[in-house]
Amino acid sequence: MIIDKENIASHNQNNLDQHNLRFDFTANSLIQKGVDVDTIIKKVSDFQVAIPSWALGAGGTRFGRFSYYGEPGTLEQKIEDVGLIHALTQSAGAISLHIPWDVPEDAEKIKSLTKSLGLQFDAMNSNTFQDQPNQEHSYKYGSLCSTDDNARQQAIQHNIDVIKLGEQLGSKSLTVWLADGSSFPGQNNFQTVLKNTQDSLKQIYAELPEDWKLFIEYKPYEPYFYSTVIQDWGTSFMLANECGPKAYTLVDLGHHLPNTNIEQIVATLMLKGKLGGFHFNDSKYGDDDLTVGSIKPYSLFLIFNELVYGMENNPQNPYPAWMIDASHNLKDPMEDLMQSLEAINSAYAKALLVDQKALREAQRNHDVTLCQEILQEAYLTDVRPLLEKARVLNGGAINPLQTYRQMDVRNKLVDERGKHSMATGL
């Protein structure tokens, strides 16, 4: 199923008068305050977030998985789903593949399908956190950290294979999320598993093409409950430094203990030029993988405030790779992803509204009250009309979620794919 721009434009007609009213009010108010509204719209338009291939199927928990109908059963269908989201939102211009869940049978065919939908390939994701059928050596007790040389070598080779596959598709980065760890004190020798991991990552890094990046994720617990080898940003940062200039830390919002000051981590990494990528989601307690902005929208804004500052002031840091890494246990994944995209764009636009000059001045004057006022002034601005404008200018929907429902996309996909199609993934 493909949604063309004329179809979207005709749905936009119903919302156009309302949009124009709202936009004029917001834009005029901001222009009065000296805000360059056109630049903000342009920046929001340019901001593209990758959708991971595993996000289009129903997510599960340790207790089960409730399917919904019309799931994408093939890689082609997953790419088509991202294409639908991108057509409506104009802000999901990339897909991130997970290997081995999404090995393309014909790389060239997949490449041309992706291109025809206006999508690019984001980072490739390797998987050494589960055993595959017919796999020779088990990862039950670790992969890149393993004290079993055969298992470790197999995990290194898998990552190298993923790089090779990514090269065929035109991807430029590899994300390593390492689930290695231990569930009981004494199970692992901390120094041995860290040393093994460092050595494995260096071997993978050595196979990285010149124009590629290696992203190293971290996580304090889960799937193991006592320790993970790469538990925090500091460990990831250290490993990235050990590997070399093409290796970076990747921040996943859900991979922190409650109340961690993530915006400060972002600032530290960008100052050091080592923030490579970002995974968006939201959480209440742990790695809940909830819809972005559904629990802590103000935190998301504060994180974007540091990202915007870093993108403007830290030329030593490359432009980060953006991806949504959420799980959809209850909602239609496509609806959920559109809500996440809206929250991301909203936090970004609000961060762009922060009066950086006034904030610097207030900080210099130790005017703590004013510092807070400046942040709140930006945060409390309703930026939705600006996001609508950014979409409309690119042929997207004024209201993507409403348009998706009016077009009855899900039911059409059920007709096309059947009720009980299943997406690969956890």
Closest separation between CB of residue 166 and Mn ion, Å?
17
When binding is defined by CB under 5 A, the residue of 71, 81, 180, 252 that contacts Mn ion is: 252
Which residue, 179 or 362, has its beta carbon nearer to Mn ion?
179
- Considering only residues 125 to 184 of the shown chain, the ones binding Mn ion according to CB under 5 A are none
C-alpha to C-alpha distance for 376 and 147, rounded to whole angstroms? 51
Binding pattern for the stretch 287-306 against Mn ion, x by CB under 5 A and - elsewhere: --------------------
C-alpha to C-alpha distance for 89 and 384, rounded to whole angstroms? 13
Q: Give the Cα-Cα-Cα angle 375, 380, 386 (nearest 5 degrees).
A: 110
Phi, psi of 396 (to 5 degrees): -90, -175
Stretch that binds Mn ion, among 122-130, 143-151, 272-280, 343-351 (CB under 5 A): 272-280
Which residue, 178 or 390, has its beta carbon nearer to Mn ion?
178
The DSSP element (H or E) to which 195 belongs, if any, is helix 190-206
Which residue, 205 or 218, has its beta carbon nearer to Mn ion?
218
Stretch that binds Mn ion, among 36-44, 104-112, 124-132, 273-281 (CB under 5 A): 273-281
Stretch that binds Mn ion, among 4-12, 71-79, 245-253, 357-365 (CB under 5 A): 245-253
Cα 6 to Cα 91, 113, 338, 388: the distances in Å are 18, 21, 20, 17
Which of these, 348, 384, 402, 366, lies nearest to 43 by C-alpha position?
Answer: 348
Q: DSSP character for 229?
A: S
The interaxial angle of helices 384-393 and 37-46, nearest 10 deg, is 60
Stretch that binds Mn ion, among 240-248, 250-258, 307-315, 390-398 (CB under 5 A): 250-258
Binding flag, residue 122, Mn ion (CB under 5 A): no
Closest separation between CB of residue 251 and Mn ion, Å?
9
CB of 135 closer than 8 Å to CB of 154: yes
The DSSP element (H or E) to which 173 belongs, if any, is strand 173-176
SS3 content of the chain, % helix, strand, coil (to 5): 50, 10, 40
Taking only Cα atoms into account, the Rg of the chain, rounded to an integer number of angstroms, comes to 22
User: How many chain residues touch Mn ion (CB under 5 A)?
Assistant: 3
Stretch that binds Mn ion, among 12-20, 251-259, 294-302, 333-341 (CB under 5 A): 251-259
Closest separation between CB of residue 127 and Mn ion, Å?
12
Closest separation between CB of residue 317 and Mn ion, Å?
19
When binding is defined by CB under 5 A, the residue of 282, 325, 332, 335 that contacts Mn ion is: 325
Closest separation between CB of residue 177 and Mn ion, Å?
6
Binding flag, residue 279, Mn ion (CB under 5 A): yes
Binding flag, residue 335, Mn ion (CB under 5 A): no
Residues lying near Mn ion in the complex (CB under 5 A) are found at 252, 279, 325
